Amino acid sequence: MPAVSTGAKDLYLSTNLGELNKKAEVKADKISTRNYVQSACKLFKAAEECRLERDEEKAYIFYMKYLTVYDLLKKRADFKQHHVYLVSSHVYLVARHVYLVYSHVYLASSHVYLVSSHVYLVTGHVYLKWQPDVLCVLCFPTWFCLPPQQSLDPMDEVAALIAASVHDVDHPGRTNSFLCNAGSELAILYNDTAVLESHHAALAFQISTRDDKCNIFKNMDRNEYRTLRQAIIDMVLATEMTKHFEHVNKFVNSINKPLAALDDNLDTEECVKSIVRSPENRILVKRMLIKCADISNPCRPLQLCIQWAGRISEEYFAQTEEEKSQSLPVVMPVFDRKTCSIPKSQISFIDYFITDMFDAWDAFADLPNLMQHLDNNFKYWKELDEQKLHSLRAPSE
């Protein structure tokens, strides 16, 4: 594809996002869909390589080019037959400039869990484009490989984008339980209930209203804004883990089971639409969407899974140490740096939270690549545990 270069020779470094966006532009070309698909895969690979090398600006350019090529692909009549080639990368795809933009307006955090990188991974289905005086939301149809009757409407998609990009803003690297036990100001402010999630949602809207350049809502109709705001808040609050099983069970009972029980003799498409598109069930879909994205580390390729397991373990080790130093209750005693088995912690996390949730989401959205990653990663942690290793990798690695 002539207009899409995957080499590094024509890239340059710049902190000006406008210039980076120009560099990431891709023009439509009259070539085969297969060639477009191949170009998209090369771009995604290049973006991932740059990201792992911490070359943020090159990664940003490649991700933006990838998104543009994908948008061009979707307009092609024969796109669906090639869709499978791109599904696996969509869950990991993020417009890297979510981090670049928000780092200028206070959303980037400095604690060890690297909130900006986590946001980058969660925000994988739509992207934000920075222009000199306005943050424009560019929204694509849902990328979960769902049939048309199961996709969300444009307002849902925008809500999902924004909720994903703000869902951990200003995260202190400590859990809700820690903040409540320590009597923090946030815990007092939010009455010990969904403390961090309430803070993330509230701060996101505070930022948007106190700086006109960040107010992406200012031109919206009042009623539409209230609808969008409520959807964003609901999705962010859904990431609070004390209601994890409640959300998953509602999704299974209200959506998966009715879909599985449909009679083949009925007008299936209309029946599916009536189930999935009801207001109550659209809320459940959005909650599951952000929940799966938020804790999807075990469903990523092995090296990314290992990398993030190390990061979250380090964050929990630091919390345990602080709890002991301040004579606070130790919320997660297994995360003692001297005794913790990271493989065991990952196995328990997958068994307790991940497997049932992703089984339910896979039944709805059909994501074989993610499920294969999950299976591979679980086997990896089991092998380490069987060797009685406590580390992220075997010594030979």
Q: What is the overall mean pLDDT for the chain?
A: 77
- Report the pLDDT averaged over residues 249-257: 96
Distance CA 275, CA 283 (A): 12
The answer on pLDDT for 130 being more than 60 is no
Q: Which residues pair with 321 in a beta bridge?
A: none
> What is the C-alpha to C-alpha distance for residues 335 and 182, in angstroms, rounded to an integer?
18
pLDDT at position 264: 67
- Are 106 and 207 contacting, i.e. CB atoms less than 8 angstroms apart? yes
User: Domain residues of the chain, as ranges?
Assistant: 1-90, 96-294, 295-397
Write down the pTM of the prediction: 0.70
Q: Is pLDDT at 107 greater than 50 in this prediction?
A: no
Closest CA to 167 of 141, 134, 201, 120: 201
Radius of gyration of the chain (CA): 21
pLDDT in tens, 331-363: 999 999 999 999 999 999 999 999 999 999 999
Instruction: For domain 1-90, give the CATH number.
Output: 1.20.58.80
Highest mean pLDDT among 14-23, 67-76, 192-201, 257-266: 192-201
Are 238 and 291 a contacting pair, CB within 8 Å?
Answer: yes
DSSP alpha helices (H): ranges in 75-145?
A: 84-90, 97-103, 115-122
Residue 133 has what pLDDT?
Answer: 23
> Yes or no: is domain 96-294 CATH 1.10.1300.10?
yes
Q: Is the pLDDT of residue 21 over 70?
A: no
